[in-house]
Structure 1
Amino acid sequence: MKAGAKLPNVTFHTRVRDESVEGPNPYRWEDKTTADYFAGKRVILFSLPGAFTPTCSTYQLPGFEKGYEEFKAHGIDEIYCMSVNDSFVMNKWAQDQKLENVKVIPDGSGEFTRKMGMLVEKDNLGFGMRSWRYAAIVNDGVIEAWFEEPGLMDNCPEDPYGVSSPENLLKYLAEAKQPELA
Structure 2
Amino acid sequence: MIKQGDTLPNATLNQLTPDGMATHSTHELFANKKAILFAVPGAFTPTCSEAHLPGFVVLADQLKAKGVDLICCIAVNDAFVMDAWGDAQNASEIMMLADGDASFTKAIGLEMDTDKFGGIRSQRYAMVLDNGTVTTLNIEKSGEFDVSKAETILSTL
Please give the range of the TM-score, normalised by the shorter of the 2 chains: over 0.9
4+ runs deviating over 3 angstroms = none
Give 1:47 shift.
0.4
Instruction: Give the structure 1 partner of residue 110 of structure 2.
Output: 118
Whether 1:14 and 2:15 are equivalent positions in the alignment is: yes
Q: Give aligned-pair identity as a percent.
A: 38
Whole-angstrom CA distance in 2 between matches of 1:77 and 1:31: 19
- Residue of structure 2 in register with 1:105 after alignment: 97
Alpha-carbon distance in structure 2 between the residues aligned to 1:15 and 1:64? 20
**Quick one: distance in 1 between partners of 2:106 and 2:33?**
23
Give, in angstroms, the shift of residue 37 of structure 1: 1.8
Root mean square deviation of aligned Cα: 1.1
**Cα deviations across residues 46-86 of structure 1 (Å, max 9, x unaligned)?**
00100000100110101001101111121111110000000
Higher relative contact order (CA 8 A, sep 6+): 2
Task: Give the conservation status (yes or no) of the 8 Å contact 2:57–2:90.
Answer: no
Asked if structure 1 preserves the Cα contact closer than 8 Å seen for 2:15 and 2:96, the reply is no
Q: Which residue of 2 aligns with 1:85?
A: 77
Aligned counterparts of 2:16 and 2:95: Cα–Cα separation in 1: 13
Q: How many residues matched? A: 156
Larger Rg: 1
Aligned runs of 1:171-182 on 2, under 5 Å?
A: 171-173=155-157
Q: Which range moves more in the overlay, 107-116 or 94-103?
A: 94-103
C-alpha separation in 1, matches of 2:32 and 2:97:
18
What TM-score, normalized to structure 2? 0.95
